[in-house]
Each structure stands twice: as C-alpha cells, then as structure tokens.
Amino acid sequence: MADPDSNPPFHAGLIALYAGGGWNGVLIEGESGSGKSDLALRCLEHGFRLVADDRTRLWVDEGRLFGAAPGPIAGLIEARGLGILPVAALRFAEVKLVVRCLGPSDPLERLPEASSRTLLGVVLPRIALRPLEASSPVKVIRRLSPLGGWR
C-alpha cells in the first residue's frame, strides 16, 4: 500500500459502508460549512463508518483510489454546536463514489446525467445533492448500492 501521508490532505470527508464483501468509501466534498460533516454524521446512523472528517489523504494503489484521515484528526468528527466528537473509525477505505454538497440556492437537477470526478487519475462516479435534506443519507446509499454489487 502506498503511504497516505505522502500526499497533502484533500478538503473532503470520507465515510464507508460495508456491503458486497468490503468497505465502500464515499468522499464528501463541498465548501466549508456546506454540511459535509452533518451528512457524514447522519450516514453513521445508517451503518456507515467514519474514515476522515473534513480532511482526507488520498492515494492510488493498483489503479484504485484510497483515503485515510491525517493522524491528528483520526477518529474525530466535528458536530457544529457540540464540538469535536470521538467516533469509531476505519483506518482507510477505497473510494467508490464522490458526493458534491450543494448550497441551498444551487440548482439540483431532477433527472441528472451521469457525472464523474477524476482524482489522482482515477475516474469515479459523482452525485450532487443538498446534504442537509433528510433524504440525503438514503440517496447516498441508493447511489452506492449498484456500485458495490449488493441489494
């Protein structure tokens, strides 16, 4: 495995859901204060595990993208209004999906075209959503499901 500390951290969170025989990572990106950590916290209630909050070190191994938390923030998540909370976390996960957090006034297509995001040369499927909507964790699960080969 490549050394994740050799790359600078990417401004995004990473959560993972165990299904289809492995951990399937979801990289959550967006502007500061857009709801990345809020979405991650709510996804934890749906069976996801935290890998990294707010900053994620990314690396490629055998053509697959992986992510981990920088050491000082491993196992920690920020909950606005509560502070920094310890949570059970994975050491790393393979990234299978990218979620782009939209602001409340950003347009959200009803029937979007397939979208992708290239990170460190790896092309990944990407969805855009409003992270503070109640249905957002379920939307992430639904979009991730066909990628992991379960359900």
Catalytic residues: 11, 36, 54, 110
Rounded to whole angstroms, how far apart are CA atoms 63 and 74?
25
DSSP secondary structure string for all residues of 74-143:
TTEEEETTTEEEE--B-S-EEEEEEEEEPPTTS---SSPPPEEEEETTEEEEEEEE-TTSTTHHHHHHHH
Residues 67 and 27 sit within 8 Å (Cβ to Cβ)? yes
